[in-house]
């Protein structure tokens, strides 16, 4: 079992204030972020997502927007979950609360996301051709269709987190 509090075991992604987005690597050049000459930028489209998760077309694929609060976010592959740190005293305490939080969560309705493989999670304001070099994380996913669901949980009196769980329902 992975002990997430070990240094370097979890990579956290920060946002400058807006949503985070998970874009398939195959279509990164098509994500313009806050740049662009159109009336509404890709970043503006991401900001319009209502709720904890949403899907946006990017190239010939779809990206997953993590809406809600601009919380520090990590992906835990053994749980298949993005963990969004809303409040908590320590990383170790927050990460230790994830398995029971996943089991007890009251999940919002699922959306289905078709993924061609690895995605890059980063601040939606950055263009896909140049996500912040130090603030992104590569998430290796098996190609296929995923059920995506989200929940806000409070596993302790001073600990709140958002969970976005990915479950492969149809491999390619």
Task: Measure the CA–CA gap between 10 and 39, rounded to whole angstroms.
Answer: 37
Length of the chain measured in residues: 172
pTM of the model: 0.90
**Residues facing 145 on adjacent strands:** 114, 170
CB 109 within 8 A of CB 163: no
> ∠ CA(22), CA(13), CA(65), 5° rounding?
30
Question: How high is the pLDDT of residue 65?
Answer: 97
CB 147 within 8 A of CB 164: no
DSSP string, 60-125: TEEEEEE-SS--EEEEETTTTEEEEEEE-S-HHHHHHTHHHHHHH--PPPPEEEEE-S-EEEEETT
Question: How high is the pLDDT of residue 36?
Answer: 66
C-alpha gyration radius of the chain: 15
Question: How high is the pLDDT of residue 1?
Answer: 38
The structure tokens 């489209």 sit at 45
What is the biggest distance separating any 2 CA atoms in the chain, rounded to whole angstroms?
48
Question: How high is the pLDDT of residue 81?
Answer: 97
pLDDT tens digits in sequence order for the chain, 172 residues long: 345 555 566 888 988 888 999 999 999 999 999 876 666 799 999 999 988 999 999 999 999 999 887 888 999 999 999 999 888 888 888 888 999 999 999 999 999 999 999 999 999 999 888 765 558 899 999 999 999 999 999 888 888 899 999 999 999 8
Q: List all residues 6 or more positions away from 137 whose beta carbon is below 8 Å from its beta carbon.
A: 11, 12, 13, 74, 75, 120, 121, 122
Q: List all residues 6 or more positions away from 48 whose beta carbon is below 8 Å from its beta carbon.
A: none
CB 161 within 8 A of CB 85: yes
């Amino acid at each position: 079992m992975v002990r997430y509090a070990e240094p370097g075991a979890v990579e956290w992604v920060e946002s400058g204030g807006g949503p985070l987005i998970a874009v398939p690597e195959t279509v990164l050049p098509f994500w313009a972020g806050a740049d662009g000459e159109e009336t509404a930028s890709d970043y503006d489209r991401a900001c319009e997502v209502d709720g904890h998760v949403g899907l946006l077309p990017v190239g010939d694929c779809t990206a997953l927007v993590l809406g809600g609060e601009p919380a520090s976010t990590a992906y835990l592959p053994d749980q298949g979950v993005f963990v969004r740190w809303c409040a908590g005293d320590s990383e170790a305490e927050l990460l230790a609360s994830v398995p029971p939080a996943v089991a007890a969560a009251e999940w919002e309705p699922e959306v289905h996301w078709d993924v061609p493989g690895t995605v890059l999670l980063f601040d939606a304001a950055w263009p896909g051709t140049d996500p912040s070099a130090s603030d992104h994380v590569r998430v290796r996913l098996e190609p296929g269709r995923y059920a995506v669901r989200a929940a806000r949980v409070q596993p302790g009196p001073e600990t709140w987190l958002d969970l976005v769980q990915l479950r492969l329902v149809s491999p390619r």
